[in-house]
Amino acid sequence: MPLLELDNIVVEFPTRRGPLEAVKGLSLDLDEGEILGLVGESGAGKSITGAAITGLIEPPGLIRSGEVRLRGARVDNLPADKMRRIRGKEIGAIFQDPLTSLNPVYTVGEQLIDTMRVHLDLDQKTARQRAIDWLAEVGIPAPEARLDQYPHQFSGGMRQRVVIALALCAEPKLIIADEPTTALDVSVQAQILALLKRLCRENGTAVVLVTHDMGVIAETADRVAVMYAGRLVEIGDVKQVIEEPLHPYTRGLMASIPQIGIRDRRLTQIEGAMPGLRNAAPGCAFAPRCPRAMEHCHSIRPAPQDAGTGQVACHFYGETS
C-alpha cells in the first residue's frame, strides 16, 4: 500500500462569481521514503495540493471532491482536532518562510520539546536531550546554548534548519516541504537541500517537495510530478522528466532554463502565459501555447496515460508512439 494517495482531488475556492478550481482533479501516489517533486509555475496549483495533503487549505477554500489517504485511511474529511494530531505526528510541514513555522514568543528548545512530548510521550529530560541532538543533527553549532534562544536570534538559514528539525522531531512518515529554499540565499539553498535529503533518507521519511525550481528537483527528487493549470501533465522518474520529458510543456519548460556553458543566441521560450483559474476551455489547457497542438487538443482534454516510467497527459504522445 502506498504511504500517500491522492485520488482525483478537486480544490475549490468559492467566490461570488462562482467557484474557482485551483486543483482540477489530481491523482498521485507516494511510497514510503520516496521524495516526490511537485513542480509548476505560480498558479499551477502545486502549493494548494500541498496544503490539501496537510489539511491547511485556507477557508473558504475546500476539497470539493476526491480523497486524500494516508496508509489507506482517509484524512481529508477528519475534524480539525484530529487533523491537528496527524499533522506533526504523521505529516510534517516546512514552508518557504521559516518565520511562519516558528512561534516568536517561545524558544527554539521549547518548541522542539513541546512537539516531541505531545507526539512521542517523552519526559521533559529525555525530550530536552533529544532536542539538543536534533539541533546538532541539523548542523546548528553549540546546540546546547542555542536551545534556549528565540527564533529571531537565528539567521535565515539557521532558522530553516530549526524548522527542519521541528518538522522531523516527531518522526513523521511524510514531510510536505513547500518551497523550502526559495527565501534563502543561493549559497545557503544547497546546504539546506542537502540536509533535508540526508535526514529524510536516514529516517525513511517520504517528502513531497513543492517547488518552481527544476534545479532543486533534479538534485533532490526521486520522482517528479509536473502540474499545469491545476492538473497533472506528466509524472515520472526524475531522470526521465528532467532529461527526456514527454509532455511538450515540460520540454518547453526545461529548454527555457538558461544553463551555464550553453551558448545560445536566444533562449527557447514558450509563448503566452498559463490560463487563469477561470479558464473553462474544454481541451488541453496547454494547447493554446503548444507547438504541437492538433485540432482535437483544443476540444478534448487528454487523460493521463501510462508512458515511460510514469504517466503523461497528452494527445500527441499517444498518437506518435
Residue 176 Cβ, how far from another protein at the closest point, in Å? 21
Contact 210, 35 (CB under 8 A): no
Residues 6+ apart with CB under 8 A from 162: 98, 102, 108, 112, 135, 138, 140, 151, 154
User: Interface with another protein by CB under 8 A: which residues?
Assistant: 16, 41-42, 155-158, 185-191, 194, 212-216, 218-219, 238-239, 242-243, 252-254, 256-261, 264, 266-271, 273
Q: What is the DSSP string of 98-151?
A: HHHHS-TTS-HHHHHHHHHHHHH---HHHHHHHHHHHHHHTT-SSHHHHTTS-G
Residues 6+ apart with CB under 8 A from 35: 197, 200, 206, 207, 209, 220, 221, 222, 223
- Give me the count of residues in the chain: 321
Residue 35 Cβ, how far from another protein at the closest point, in Å? 12
Nearer to another protein, 42 or 124 (CB): 42
- Cell numbers that stand for 45 in this block: 496549483
Nearer to another protein, 83 or 190 (CB): 190
Instruction: Report the C-alpha gap between 157 and 181 in whole angstroms.
Output: 9
Nearer to another protein, 8 or 279 (CB): 279
Nearer to another protein, 264 or 319 (CB): 264
Residue 77 Cβ, how far from another protein at the closest point, in Å? 27
Nearer to another protein, 158 or 207 (CB): 158
Residues 6+ apart with CB under 8 A from 319: none
Number of Cβ within 10 Å of residue 291's Cβ equals 10
Residue 263 Cβ, how far from another protein at the closest point, in Å? 9
Nearer to another protein, 70 or 207 (CB): 207
Residue 8 Cβ, how far from another protein at the closest point, in Å? 26
Nearer to another protein, 170 or 241 (CB): 241
Residue 45 Cβ, how far from another protein at the closest point, in Å? 14
- Cell numbers that stand for 98 in this block: 521559516
Within 13 Å and on the Cβ side, how many CA atoms surround 308? 22
Residue 276 Cβ, how far from another protein at the closest point, in Å? 9
Q: Where are the beta strands (DSSP E) in 256-307?
A: 305-307
Q: What is the DSSP letter of 97?
A: S
Residue 215 Cβ, how far from another protein at the closest point, in Å? 3
Contact 166, 127 (CB under 8 A): no
Nearer to another protein, 49 or 181 (CB): 181
